[in-house]
Each structure stands twice: as C-alpha cells, then as structure tokens.
Homo-oligomer: A and B are copies of this chain.
Amino acid sequence: MAVYTNLSAADLADLIDAYDVGTLVSAKGIAEGVSNSNWLVETTQDRFILTMYEARVAVADLPFFLDLLDHLAGKGSPVPRTIHDRDGASFRMVRGKAVALIEFLPGVSVDEPSPAQARAVGTALAGLHRNGGDFRGQRANAMALPAWRDLFERCGTAGLASIDAALPALVARELEDLAHDWPADLPRTAIHADLFPDNVLLLGDRVSGLIDFYFACTDQAAYDLAVTHAAWCFGRGGAFRPDIAAALMEGYCAARPLSEAERAALPVLARGAALRFIATRAYDWLHTPADALVTRKDPLDFARRLVFYREAGHSAFAAIA
C-alpha cells in the first residue's frame, strides 16, 4: 500500500486536461492497492480515482480490466466506471506508465462484516457473475493451479518449512489432490478472483462498490464464490464464522442459484482458493525483508483455512438451521 511514483502538480493537471472532467482542484496520494499508485483526484466537476499501473499489472491486460468495469457498471453492478479521455481511450501513458481515471465510489471497507453485510456481498457477487456472462473480453486466470505450483517451487521445500514445518507436506498433498479433483465444466463468466473485504465498499449494509479488478479473469463462477467465502468467513482470531458464511451463501444463491455440480465442487474450490493465497503469501513472505515497511501477510492464516475446509467439507457451505 503506497504511492510508488511521484506525479507533479503539472503532470496531474496535464493529465486531467486530456479528459472532459473539468480542471484539477485537489489530488491526494492514497494508501490503497497493493501494487499500483493511486490518487484521489478532485476536479471542478467530480471526484475520481487515478490509478497508475506499476510493474505487477500488464498493460496488455488493461483493456480487459477497464472494459469489464464499463460492462458491469452498464448492467447495474456497483463497480466504478472507467472514464475515457477525449480520444475515447480507457488508459493513457504518463512517464512510461499506464494510468486510468476511474469513477470514485463512496463507502468504507469493513474488517468484521455483519451477516447483513455478508448477504449483500453475496448478492453483489452473484450479480457480477450474471452480468459478466456476456462480456466479450476473455482473460485466462493467471493465478490458477499451475501458477500456485510454480510459486511453491520457487519457495522451495526448505523455504516453506522455514514458515512452518508442516507446510511442505500440506502443500504437496493439496497440489496433488486438487490437480485430480478440480472441476473443469462449471459455468464460466468474468470473475473478480480477489474479493477480500478490502475490495468491497459498504454504506451500512449496502454494497456501494466492488473495486480493484486487477486479478479479474474468465473462470468458473463457483471458484470466485469460494474465494470470497475463504476471504470473508473467518473472524479476527481465525475462527470460522458460520453466520457470515450462511449469509454470504444465502445472498449469493438468492440472486444466482448454484447448480448441483457447482454446489458439489465448493469444498474442493475453497481448498483451492486457500492454497492460492498460501502460494502468493508464502512467496512474498520469503521474498520480503523482515524489516521492510510493507506488511507481510501470514501464509499460515490460509493454511489454517485450508485445513478447515478439508475437515468441514460441505458443512462450511450449509445454511444455518
């Protein structure tokens, strides 16, 4: 979370002039987004988020991400629209980096959601999956099982063991099981693939924004639900929150009922979701200096969730009686 690149007031004013949005009134670098620089920009007309894409986001992927926002917003999903410049472009290059101007949405991210909030998030996610079905852009999920395996190989067995002695065996077993059990034929759509609480803006119990679509891709909808389940349904101490899980599932299924096959696959998909975050967090853990100012996220949080999903099976996705 940082502003990686300094843009001068003159750079910013020039950039804003390329859009039909009024003139620059204020710009504050905001501590949001893991790998991009972001500014909250105010003009004489409105407020916007200005995002500068740093190394982790490929410029070739931007049309997918930015057009998807427009597609979803056009169909009523609470996602920010991309502002196009006077030439109609969805992004521009500034000092060698791509930048996009994106609608500002109100709302705050919650740490500890209520069931009502989880229900609203489920409904918003289902709406995203319904609305994304006819989006013409396609992007393979670059964070699917082969990528997890690659990240774990780059961590090395010794590296994983340095995080926790039991981690190498857990990872090896799951990689093997999931390669065998992973479903292939569930309904596919545009998915968010990273819908943590950080990426949801709420006004009370209403979802005012789904943001940060930079892992979005074309993949099985039920996997996105499993990611969201793994990201939302555990309390601060790590304990499973059945009330949150039930509300999330209820909100989702009310707007997009799951097929039998999707429902059957959820425990496996949730183990995959947990393994996906273990992979990136373990890699970052081993490749970030311990004294760096970036907060490393503990890979073991998701190792515990993975073990939970193995043990709980379908009960993790059950309604509360």
Contact = CB atoms under 8 A, between A and B. Distances in A.
Interface of A: 1-3, 8-10, 12-13, 24-32, 40, 42, 106-112, 201-203, 289, 291-294
A30 B30 contact: yes
B106 A42 contact: yes
A110 B31 contact: no
A108 B24 contact: yes
A10 B10 CA distance: 37
A44 to B, nearest CB: 10
Q: Give the interface centre of A9, A42, A292 by most chain B CB atoms within 10 Å.
A: A9
Contacts of A9: 108-111, 202
27 contacts: A1-B3, A1-B29, A2-B2, A2-B293, A3-B31, A8-B111, A8-B112, A9-B109, A10-B110, A13-B108, A24-B108, A25-B106, A25-B203, A26-B106, A28-B30, A28-B31, A28-B32, A28-B40, A29-B31, A30-B31, A31-B31, A40-B40, A42-B106, A291-B292, A292-B292, A292-B293, A293-B294
A10 B204 CA distance: 10
Number of copies of this chain that the complex holds: 2
A107 B13 CA distance: 11
A297 to B, nearest CB: 13
A26 B293 CA distance: 25
A29 B32 contact: yes
A31 B32 CA distance: 9
A291 B12 CA distance: 29
B31 A107 contact: no
Given A2-B31, A292-B292, 19 more contacts: A2-B2, A2-B293, A8-B110, A8-B112, A9-B110, A10-B111, A24-B108, A25-B106, A26-B107, A26-B108, A28-B30, A28-B31, A28-B40, A29-B30, A30-B31, A30-B40, A31-B31, A291-B292, A293-B294
